[in-house]
Amino acid sequence: MQTQLSESQLAHPALAEANEVLRTCVHCGLCLATCPTYAILGDERDSPRGRIYLIKDMLEADGPADATVTRHIDRCLSCLSCMTTCPAGVDYMHLVDHARGHIEKTWERPLPERLLRTLLAIALPSPGLARLALLAARGPALLAPLFGGRLGALLRLAGRPAHGPSWVERPQVIRARGPRRKRVALLTGCVQCVLAPEINEAAARVLARHGCEVVVVRDAGCCGALAHHLGDEARGRAQAGRTAAALAREAAGAELDAVVATASGCGTMLKDYGHLLRDDAVHATAGAQVADLARDVSEVLDALGLAGEGQAPTAAPVAYHSACSLQHGQRIEARPVALLKAAGFSVRTVPDGHFCCGSAGTYNMLQPELAGELGARKAAAIEGTGAALVAAGNVGCMVQLAGHTTLPVVHTVELLDWATGGPPPPALERLAAA
């Protein structure tokens, strides 16, 4: 693709990088076939190729974003399926992130939208604030069936139970069972602690059971992904810098073999810290170190080898939902399935598994109609497998799927913990009680 950015524009490193990404695109259009929003809307501007043209025109104009480019960039899920498909290796992830930052700096959104985006950027990364927000909204959440759009989506989310602080959230060292094989830091995350604390609890147990000393690091809070993907670059980088610094201090004090994420959206962000913080004079070194250490929990368990193979406590077939941030963002697709099978679970393949479920961070709150259609499509594909339960590696996907299917939805690590001596996932216990 030819570009016409001026020499003065190219003097800015971020614009020079965006220019190189734009020039990589060869207009082939293969990305259209795997783009969820293009599949639904059929609008070229809601495809990766169309968005690339919009971004090119916006940057070349060297002015503020407009309503058209904002609408079509906002509709992008950042599922990164296009990057898996692209034969030219276009770095769409960093290009669309740059575009979002430019939009937030130059386009004035309507006041209600600004307030909503600010609320999400402030409340969700803080477990304390998220708990308060959910508790405060519990009464209004009863009215969710009366509303559509963004308000209805927010009220439906507010209707989910908010859990108090879990034992695994506090800074601590969880000793390995038996000889120590690895020392890992567990990133407990933010909103996951509120909506599904059982995920981190299961991860801590199963890692310790397999010989890991598990460290919960003080001040390792939000990874910054949520704010960053909202285009709030300053807030996202600040959160990433603090978390990188905390994890790097722990690594300096005692050797770490990995920084483990159980939310694949966080894991993708951690692995990008080297790029995100490369120009940060204070945190660049820490960012690169954390990016090198970052692992999804499935990568660590795969390297350790699963104990008690073939001893699954249930014969119920499991549909594995491959989160976009895991299969496209981190290129991890086979490991979780292999681990579930090694544990003895019967795993069903979900048709069109490369398609997003519509969660995508805050997407299901900001673009509820599109997210709802994608969620219903994914739920139908899952139920069509005949599975009795669903496993996924990202809490956002779990929340989204639970809103579209009656099947219990659990994290992959919960099943692996259960199969190797841990308790049943709470979602399965609730199903049995019902």
d(CA 386, CA 85): 29
Domain 7-106, classified CATH 1.10.287.3510, yes or no: no
> Are 415 and 340 within 8 A, CB to CB?
yes
Number of neighbours of residue 111 by Cβ within 10 angstroms: 8
pLDDT, tens only, 241-274 = 999 999 999 999 889 999 999 999 999 999 999 9
d(CA 304, CA 286): 26
Nearest Cα to Cα of residue 258 among 224, 228, 229, 297: 297
- Mean pLDDT by runs of 10 across the 434 residues of the chain is 88 93 94 96 96 96 94 97 96 96 95 91 89 77 70 70 88 95 95 93 97 96 94 95 96 94 96 96 97 98 87 92 96 96 95 93 92 96 97 95 95 97 88 50
For the chain, the straight-line distance linking the first and the last C-alpha, in angstroms and rounded, comes to 57
Domain chopping of the chain, boundaries: 7-106, 111-158, 172-301, 307-433
What's the whole-number average pLDDT of the chain? 92
Per the structure block, which two tokens stand in for 138? 């519990």
CATH topology for 172-301 is: Rossmann fold (3.40.50)
d(CA 349, CA 322): 10
pLDDT, tens only, 270-301 = 999 999 999 999 999 999 999 999 999 999 99
pTM of the model: 0.93
Q: Write the CATH number of the domain with boundaries 307-433.
A: 3.40.50
d(CA 310, CA 52): 47
Strand order in the sheet with 212-216: 172-174, 212-216, 182-187, 258-261, 294-296
Same fold, 172-301 and 307-433: yes
